[in-house]
Structure 1
Amino acid sequence: MATERPRLVYDDDCGFCTWCADWAVRNGDFDPVGFSDLSADERDRLPEDWEECVHLLADGRVYSCGKATEEVLARTGRVPADFVHFLDGFADYERLRERAYRLGADNRDLLGKVVSASPPAGRE
C-alpha cells in the first residue's frame, strides 16, 4: 500500500518560512502547502493555534512547531533519527526543543534578512 508524501504546512506570507520550506523540498521528499493553500480537511487536522508554527502531516500524524522541524531534519538526513530518539529520552528535551523553535519563529524577520541574500542550497 502506497503512503501519501509528507505535506509540509508553512506560513507562505513569511519569507523565512518560505525559504525553509524550499530548503526542505530540495533536500527531502515533501509536498509544500502554504497556509493560504490549505484545504478544509488539512486545516481540520491541525491544532487550534495552527497559524503559530510549521506542521508536517505524515504517516497519519501531525507534527507541529519544533517537533515538525525536527522531523523534517530527520527525514532529510540532516539529523540522524537515532539521535532524535536518544534526545527524546531526556525529560527536558521537548521543552528545550520547543523553546528553541519559538526563539527562531519569534525572530523570523531577522532570520529572513540573513537567508534572503542567497537561495536555499540543495544537496551537496
Structure 2
Amino acid sequence: MSERRRTRPQLVYDDDCGFCTWCARWAVRVAPVDAVGFDELTDEQRARLPDDWEECAHLLVGRTVYSCGEAIEQTLARSNIPASAALGLLRQVPGYAAFREESYRWAADHRDWWGQIRRADSVE
C-alpha cells in the first residue's frame, strides 16, 4: 500500500454501481480523498468496516470510520465546494443527522434512477 493511501482519507464505495463509481470519481476531484471500491478492499480495511459494510459508502480517516450519510458529509466537509462551509451550521439543527441518513438511504435506494439521469446528462 502506498504512503498516499495510508495518509489520505479513503472513500469506500460499491464499484459495481455505475452511479456510485461516478460519485466516487467526483469526490476525488473535489476533496483530498482516495476512492477504494469494494472489490479493492484489503483485509485490514474490511475488518474496520461495520458488519453491513456493503449497504453504503464509508470514509476511513485515520482510525475513524464514517458510514453512509455521514461518510458523504465528511467527504463534502473536506471538499473545495463553497457550500461545504454550511455543514457546521447544519450539524447544529435538531434532527439533521436523522435527515442526513434518511436522505442518503433514499438516494442509495434510487441509484438506478440517478444513474439514468447521469447517463442522460452525458449523452452528446
Which bin holds the TM-score, normalised by the shorter protein? 0.7 to 0.9
2:106 matched to 1:106?
A: no
CA RMSD across the alignment: 1.8
Judged with a 3 Å threshold, the aligned counterparts in structure 2 of structure 1 residues 84 and 59 are, in CA distance, closer, same or farther, namely farther
Secondary structure of the corresponding residue to residue 116 of structure 1: helix
Runs (4+) of structure 1 exceeding 2 A deviation are 77-81, 116-119
Instruction: Choose from 49, 65, 70 the match for 2:68.
Output: 65
Between the two proteins, the alignment pairs up a number of residues equal to 117
Q: State the partner residue of 2:35.
A: 32
TM-score, with normalisation over the residues of structure 2? 0.86
Q: State the partner residue of 1:43.
A: 46
- Unpaired runs of 5+ residues, structure 1, are 120-124
Q: What amino acid is aligned across from residue 49 of structure 2 in structure 1?
A: L
Q: For each residue in 1:1-54, what CA deviation from the matched residue of structure 2 results, as whole angstroms up to 9, or x when unmatched?
A: x97111110000000000000101112221111001101110111111100000
Q: How does 1:81-100 map to 2 (within 5 A)?
A: 81=85, 83-100=86-103
2:5 matched to 1:16?
A: no
Which structure carries more helix by proportion? 2
- Unpaired runs of 5+ residues, structure 2, are none
CA-CA distance at 1:86 after TM superposition:
2.0
Identity level (%): 52
Higher relative contact order (CA 8 A, sep 6+): 1
Q: State the partner residue of 1:122.
A: none
TM-score, with normalisation over the residues of structure 1? 0.86
Hey, what's the Cα distance between the residues in 1 that align with 2:70 and 2:46?
18
Hey, what's the Cα distance between the residues in 1 that align with 2:54 and 2:99?
21
